Structure formats: C-alpha cells, structure tokens
Amino acid sequence: MKNQRAISQVLKSHRRKLIVLGVVFSIWLFCLPAELFDASTSTVVESREGIMLGARIADDGQWRFPESDSVPYRFEQCILHFEDEYFYSHPGVNPVSMAKALWQNITTDKRRGGSTLTQQVIRLSRKNKKRTYFEKVIEIFMATRLEAGYSKKDILNLYASHAPFGGNVVGLETASWRYFGLPSSDLSWGQSAALAILPNAPSLIFPGKNEQILRSKRDRLLKKLFDKGILDQITYELSLEEALPGKPLPLPEIAFHLTEKIRKDFPGSRKTTTISIELQKKLNTIATENYFQFKQNEIHNLAVLLLDVDSREVLAYVGNAPTTSDNNKYVDIIDKRRSTGSVLKPFLYTSMLHSGELLPHTLVADIPTVINGYSPENYDGQFNGAVPASVALSRSLNVPAVRMLRSYGLDRFHRRLKKLNFNSIDKPADYYGLSLILGGAESSLWEVTNAYAGMAATLNHFNRTSSEYTGESLKSPVIIRNETLESSKNQSEPVVFNAGAIYQTLDALQKVNRPEGEENWSFFSNSQPIAWKTGTSFGFKDAWAVGVTSKYAIGVWVGNADGEGRPGLTGIQTAAPVLFDILDVLPQSDWFAVPYDELIEGDICLKSGHLAGVYCEEVSSQFIPKYGIRTQPCSYHQQVFLDANKQFQVNSSCYTLAEIKQQSWFALPPVMEYYYAQKHPEYLPLPPFRNDCLQDGERLMEFIYPKRNEAILLAKDFDETINDLILKVAHRSAETKLYWYLDSQFIGMTETFHELAIQPISGDYMLTVVDQEGNELKQKVTIKQTSS
C-alpha cells in the first residue's frame, strides 16, 4: 500500500510539473503579439529605380520608415561588432554577457547592458518600459520565443527598422537619409559605424555638442573592425576622416504632389512608383524655368504629365509649378477639372473618319453660323469659307468643329467620350450642347493625356499584332510599379476607333501646317515627330498642349489655379513651348507604322478632299479609312458650258451648240465662296450667264445674315440707343448692284460689298433683295427688341 501511495504521489507530482510546463510552454508559445510593432510609419515614395522621390512623417510625429527587407553589409558588421558580436550563435540571450553585466552593476557604480540585439528588439516592441530585473526576465523569455519564430536576418532587420537614432528619427533607413541624404545601401564604413553607435546613445546627436564623444566611439568601433580584418588599412584611414552626422537634412522632394497623392491613397507605406528619376528631374527643371517666365505675366501654375503609351506607366508627374502658397502651390492640378478648350476636337475628327462620314482633307464650311441662338466664332474672328477638315483640326477652327459636331450628333460624340474614360464629363449631352467641342465641358490633365495615349496605344497594338485590338489600350494610367491589372483578350473589332481613323488623325496633327503668324513656329517643327494639339479655354483661363509619339504621351496645362484669366494665356503661347521642351529631352521615337489593313485606296479630288467625282480634274490615289468609301463624291466640281471666249455661261437658248465650250469648274455655294475667295485669289467664280440666255435654277445669291428661320434680337447700347441691324448677302458677281426691300418698301442699294445697316421696329417682315438682272431672293424675318 505504501508503495502504491508513493507511486501515486510521484505520478501526481509529475502531472503537476507537466501541467506547469505545459502552461509555461503555452505562455511562451503565444507570448509574442501578432505584430511586434504597431506604431505608425512614414509614407515613402520611390522611383522605379528605388530612389526616394519624397516622404511624409508618421502620424505620431516620428520619421519612421516602413520596415526594409534587408540590412546592408557594412551596417550589419558595425552593429554586430558594437552591440552583439555573438548574434549568430546565441539563442536570443547571451549568458556570458549577462553575467558580466550583472557583476559590474553589483560591484561598481557603472551600468553595463548585457542585452542581445534580440532582447533589444523585444524592449523596443514593448516601447522601452522601465528597466527592472522583472522586465529583464520578460525580455529574456520573449527573446527566446522570437528566436524560435524568426530568422536571424529577420531579427536584425527588425532592430535596424525600429532602433532610435536621435530626435524623432527611427530606423536605419530613416537615419541614413536624415543624416547623410542617401539610402542605407550607399553608406560608407565611417557613416555606418557612426549610425551603429547612435541607438545605444541617441542623445549624442545634437548639433554643436557631444561631437568628441561620438567621434571617439565611432573611431574605436572602426579600430575594432580593422583589428578583426574586416577593414583594410586604406579603408580604415579614410573612414576615420569622414564627417560625423549633424543636424538632420531635409528629405528629397522630387515629386511633391505625387508623394501627397500616395500619402492619401496608401498612408504609412513604402511604394515604388513607375516614375523615371531622370525624366522627373528633367521635367522639374523645365517646369521651373518656364514658370519663372510665366509669372512675369502673373501666370502662376502649370502641370505636366508624361506617360508611356503602351504600358500607360506614369514616367513623370509635375502637379504644379514651384509657386507660392498664395498662388496655390499645394494644389495638384493634374487631377483637377478644367475647361477643355479645343483638346477634344481630334476625337470628333477621328469619330467621323471611323464612321465613314468624313475624309481627312474634305472641305468643311467655315462661314457665319447660328444654331438655336448659339453663334460660334473662330479665334481670330474671321471666316475661311471652306477649309480642309485636317487644316480645320490643326488650326483649331471653332466654326467647322461646331458644324461637324452638329452633323455627327451631340449624343453620339458624348457616348464616344465616355468610352474614352472621360469620367469628368458626367453631365448629359444636352447639358453641354454644341459648346462641348469648344471647352464647354471640364476634364483633367490625367484624363485628357490618357485618352490621347489610348489612341496611340491602339494603333501600336494593331500594328504589332495580326491587326487586332484590345481593351487594354483604354486602361487608366499606372503609378505603382508592378501593379497588376486585368488583362484583355485581343479582338477583331475596335473598342472605340479603328486604326485607320486614328492614324489619319495623328498624321494630320503631325504634318499639317499650323496657324499663320505664330511666333517660333519653326522651333516647333524642328523637333522629333509628334502629333499634338493645343487648346485655350474661354477667357484665357486654361492653356493646354497634348502630344503623342509612338512611345510617349505628354500633357501640359498652364494657367492660374484660382481661374484668373490672363492676356496671352493660350495653348500655343504658353503650353506648347513647355511640351516641346519636354519632347527635346525624350529619347527619339519612330513615327507610327501605317495600318494598311484598316485603310483602303481611293481616288480623291485634290481640291475638295472628297471622293473624286466625274468632273474632278486633279485626282490622286490615296489611302483613306476603310469606311471612307461611304462618303459622297465631290459636288463642288461641275460641268459648265461657256462661250468661245469663256467669259459667259451659255446654253442652247442663246448660243450655237457647235460653238459651246465644255469645262469642269470648281464652284462653292455663294456664302462659302464669299469668304473663300477673299483668302484664295486663285479662286475663279463661275462666269455669269449671258444676258440673252435662259437660266434654270442657278443660285446667284444667298443670305449671310439673317439666316433662315432666325429671330433677330435688336440689342441696345449703354445709352439705350438701339444698334443698327446689319443685313448681308453674298452674290456670285462682284460688279452687280443689289436693291433691298423690307416688305414692299425700298430700304437701300448696295454695290460690290453687299451689307446694309437699318433700324427697323419690331415685327414680322418679308426681306427681298433684287439684283440688276432682276434675280430675286426672299426670306421671312422676325425682329424683336430687348426689353428696357
């Protein structure tokens, strides 16, 4: 019985010990928190090469960079030989060091620490609680657990990332930038040794104080490294001469607004961006130089965006000029909505080429136009009568653009813009009306530049593949390096525009002559090939220049962030020079390959730009977008019958058939002819009919103003005087006289220039004009006066 009782007691004792051991083991196993360090971290933004673009302080006011994934060799050797030489051989604690420290602390007044780096990591994670023997036991207990769950490299990295380096500087990488202005991987032996000492005594960093103590500690560490054979003689001597860290240096600020953007989107993280450090610095310089010129005209803000066309990576991001706080220097212009000016016109041109409603050089009307009371005007206030569509695009003529938009359809074009990811244009089409094409909508430099890049990317992809398209051509720009995006399969049908229409648009924007009279035009033409477009908003508030090569998309905005307009704030005078400065620093790009599979050869009338009609004399075989074959043949060339001297038109009613001369003649409608002839002295109007010939249906006259079904509102001057109403008519003959009647009352006669000023009262009238040959033109008009 006694033996059984004894055995039972022994077993109970063992069970109690096992339970205690189990409890202790469980505590040990789960003694570490899920995250050792929960302190907030700084936001760090790097270029694609790993170079810092900027950083923002952590929420707790500390400069604490996110944890690095490795510790540089030089700093590793320095910290191990200064703090924990047996780091790679002990299990988290070093009994010999602890015993020596305990003995010295008991027998002398000096205090010595025996903690390993592992224990120091635990102490840092516990926020440096008061040092007691009980706290030391906890550190030892947790340090062994840390060693069991983490590799030595991980533990060393935790220490380097969270050790204090003086003031509000935490972590090796932070200290490297704050004290030496470079990444920790570039630290020299002298710099690494100086930083290895600081966590043990961070108060040594104080400008003007403690320099001798810090130098002495650093030099002893370097001597130790030399004695151990880690440093050679020359390296050792050079390291002794290196300067000590002093007052913290400012961190790089190479992409201020991008850093702010990433801080908002990814607070407390380290992000490697797609930015090219070389291009970013070059564009910063260009922006600064141009800003100092612009501010002389009180233009204080500008923004630049550079994209890789195919990958859509952001290569440079200049959110604003280096202006003052009073002039909104902290505002990131790139993602702000601004009036688009004329930068949407190429998308309308491409839309009409794509759908087969226009050929690249088709003549479009540039004449006085009133649509539901809306009367667009060109920049110079003049009219060209008729102008090739490509020229209207490159010269950014407003009247042809509005007429083209009306022809194409406002709702159709609005839907096209939505497909191009113009998400800022978020109102219904009717909200904008036809002014949509002239800057009546707002978009951002981000969206505009990306849309141009999308057209270039579509063309590139089509030419690189078996004539296929992909939805990736319309993807949004990418800022974060290696960010994964959903891939899109190739398809035979275009997502928005076919490659032929895009090629013809970009070709027009690259080749066609620019506006006359602009300064420095030869400067623009000497750069590498680029398809580019400028834009200016109403009131000279926004100046745009956007361009694409086969590799790059460049977007430039210039203006005042507060919306103040300035004289000379136009796309061509301010934004375009910046664009071409940028183009000059970019690597050379080849021009786009011709997408022959989306083009078709057609016979084109050289004068009208239409498909050649039967009476066109100058015809050229050209590649046109494949649906261009649907367009109407030239209607401006007609066959006319002339007398023997070719002075008059004749017919069988007045001339012998055998003597009639047949000839092809290029003739525009009267209003188009009226303005076209003023700018084209080579233009020959149709000869008049001989007086004795019967005329059948010829249009000799046309009202310029007023237009049919247009109500006329008589405006008053500041002194309440009613302004004159100016009536205008275009007549084929420059020599004829016109007689004007309002109802049956004669109101005047004009000769050569057919403009007549009258002051009628309100009412409905029949306006009649008769030329000296008896030809008559009539139109009903309604005249109203503004209320007082």
Q: What is the pLDDT of residue 513?
A: 44
Q: What is the pLDDT of residue 518?
A: 45
Please name the amino acid found at residue 43.
Answer: T
Q: What is the pLDDT of residue 108?
A: 62
Residue 701 has pLDDT above 60, yes or no: yes
The pLDDT tens digits of the residues spanning 344-391 come to 999 999 999 999 999 999 999 999 888 777 788 898 889 999 999 999
Residue 43 has pLDDT above 70, yes or no: yes
Q: 719 in helix, strand or coil? A: coil
Report the phi/psi class of residue 641: left, alpha or beta, with left for phi > 0 and alpha for psi in -120 to 50. beta
- Report the DSSP pairing between strands 43-46 and 270-272: parallel
Question: Partners of 506 in the beta sheet?
Answer: none
Q: What is the pLDDT of residue 591?
A: 94
**Side by side, which strands form the sheet with 701-705?**
701-705, 725-731, 755-758
Q: Are 731 and 754 in contact (CB under 8 A)?
A: yes
Q: Give the tokens for residue 18.
A: 């096992």
pLDDT (average), residues 277-293: 97
**576: closest CA among 526, 517, 515, 535?**
535
pLDDT tier, 688 (very low <50, low <70, confident <90, very high otherwise) = confident
Cis before 376 (ω within 30):
no
pLDDT tier, 516 (very low <50, low <70, confident <90, very high otherwise) = very low
Distance CA 584, CA 459 (A): 23
**560: closest CA among 357, 314, 785, 291?**
291
Q: What is the pLDDT of residue 517?
A: 43
Residue 632 has pLDDT above 70, yes or no: yes
Distance of alpha carbon 532 from the chain centroid = 14
Residue 521 has pLDDT above 90, yes or no: no
Comparing 250 with 694, which gets the higher pLDDT?
A: 250
DSSP state, residue 478:
B
Q: Which residue has the tokens 């069991």?
A: 148
Q: What is the pLDDT of residue 115?
A: 82
Distance CA 555, CA 299 (A): 18
Q: What is the pLDDT of residue 343?
A: 96
pLDDT (average), residues 8-16: 72
Please name the amino acid found at residue 358.
Answer: L
Residue 697 has pLDDT above 70, yes or no: no
pLDDT (average), residues 524-534: 79
CB neighbour class for 17 (10 Å; exposed up to 12, middle 13-18, buried from 19): exposed
Residue 523 has pLDDT above 60, yes or no: no
Distance CA 183, CA 47 (A): 13
pLDDT (average), residues 777-782: 86
- Report the DSSP pairing between strands 338-339 and 619-625: unpaired
Q: What is the pLDDT of residue 587?
A: 93
Question: Partners of 43 in the beta sheet?
Answer: 56
Share of the chain above pLDDT 70, in %: 91
Question: Partners of 764 in the beta sheet?
Answer: 782
Q: Are 461 and 497 in contact (CB under 8 A)?
A: no
Q: What is the pLDDT of residue 751?
A: 85
Residue 79 has pLDDT above 90, yes or no: yes
The pLDDT tens digits of the residues spanning 402-440 come to 999 999 999 999 999 999 999 999 999 999 999 999 999
* Average pLDDT along the chain: 87
**582: closest CA among 544, 559, 558, 556?**
556
Distance CA 332, CA 569 (A): 20
CB neighbour class for 106 (10 Å; exposed up to 12, middle 13-18, buried from 19): exposed
The pLDDT tens digits of the residues spanning 651-687 come to 877 887 778 888 999 999 888 998 999 999 999 988 8
The pLDDT tens digits of the residues spanning 326-342 come to 999 999 999 999 999 99
Share of the chain above pLDDT 90, in %: 57
pLDDT tier, 194 (very low <50, low <70, confident <90, very high otherwise) = very high
Q: Which residue has the tokens 């994209």?
A: 307
CA atoms lying within 13 Å on the CB side of residue 202? 14
pLDDT tier, 524 (very low <50, low <70, confident <90, very high otherwise) = low
Report the phi/psi class of residue 298: left, alpha or beta, with left for phi > 0 and alpha for psi in -120 to 50. left
Distance CA 663, CA 661 (A): 7
Q: Are 613 and 634 in contact (CB under 8 A)?
A: yes
| Helices 345-354 and 499-511: angle between axes, nearest 10 degrees | 140
**552: closest CA among 521, 587, 517?**
587
Q: What is the pLDDT of residue 515?
A: 43
pLDDT (average), residues 757-773: 84
